[in-house]
Structure 1
Amino acid sequence: MAASHERAIFPFDYKADYTDLMFFKAFLGANIAASLYSFFFVCLPPKSLLWRLAIVLDVIMFGLLVAMNSAAIAAAYLHKHGDSQAFWPPICSQVPTYCYRVILAISIGFGGVFMFLLIIIISISVILNPLLV
């Protein structure tokens, strides 16, 4: 997402950047936070009592990622189709590379959401039945 920026000259000079909308900044921040959180808990010892807290934090991080991905999709839809009532023109025809990168970042973000969902399911099943490990 941080690499999504493009400049259009015709019909007017416009620079599309992910920092234009707060949705994309929040999306990037949530994904960075989830990545750092995941790297922290990879180093956690298997016998630690923090794993029960980790499941709660996984669910919170899952909700945050779903919310930020949904907000990013709403912003991408606004870029693609515009809003005639707010006089916001669609910009994806002028800056197609920017829109492709945004859609790619959102798709990868949903991949992270599904990975967190699998982590939650596996963690709950291991706590409920420790013989699965």
Structure 2
Amino acid sequence: MDVESVKPKRSQETERLWSTTQISLRFFAFATSFTSAMIIFKNKQVTFLFGMEFSATYTDDPTFKFFAYSNMIAACLSALSLIFSIANSRKPMDQTVYFYFFMHDLIMAMLMTAASAAASAIGYVGKHGNSQAGWIAICDHFGRYCAKNTVAVALSYFCLFLYLFLIVMSSIKSRQS
């Protein structure tokens, strides 16, 4: 068996595996960010305290607005990068394309980091309060609302980790000659 005839087949299999992995990670990044945004957009709870009606929605706090919109932006841009990845999966991409993927993934990771960290901080205050600032914990009264927000934040962190894997993959491919 000739060594030259084996090498191209192995390279094609590696490229196919690389492309499939990238498409899968991009799909899951889209799915997690979109699901997280939808959970936040639809999350609402009404409760009665002392005979008065109180409601909790994402629009009550600018941090959760930022979180919801950031996840929706990440979902839309993830969908675009997924479509581009699928469209170019049949042919090998050059280093420049992978560099653009690297930049895209890096920006998405930074956006998801900011959104997830901000929502985590507000979620912590909602769960535990801050006695020094005079903020009371609301999760005792809005348990379902807080639980859904927790799920959304967890999905957002999972999306962040997917983008970290994509950053590593894109940087490796952009440096290969």
Q: TM-score range by the shorter chain?
A: 0.7 to 0.9
Q: 1:23 aligns with which of 63, 86, 90?
A: 63
What per-residue deviation string (whole Å, max 9, x for no partner) do you get for residues 7-53 of structure 1? 11023421111111111111111111111111111222353644322
- What CA distance in whole angstroms lies between the structure 1 residues aligned with 2:150 and 2:121? 11
Unmatched 5+ stretches in structure 1:
none
**Counterparts of 2:68 and 2:151, CA distance in 1:** 13
* Larger relative contact order (CA 8 Å, sep ≥ 6): 2
Secondary structure in 2 aligned to 1:9? Answer: strand
Query: How many residue pairs were aligned?
Result: 130
1:112 matches 2:152: no
Instruction: Among all aligned residue pairs of Structure 1 and Structure 2, give the percentage whose two residues are the same amino acid.
Output: 27
Pick the structure with more helix per residue: 2
Name 1:7's counterpart in structure 2: 46
Task: State which of 32, 47, 50 in structure 1 corresponds to 2:72.
Answer: 32
* TM-score, structure 2 normalization: 0.67
Larger radius of gyration: 2
Partner of 1:87: 134
Q: Deviations over 1:82-126 (max 9, x none)?
A: 223433221111110001000000000001001111111111122
- C-alpha separation in 2, matches of 1:50 and 1:28: 29
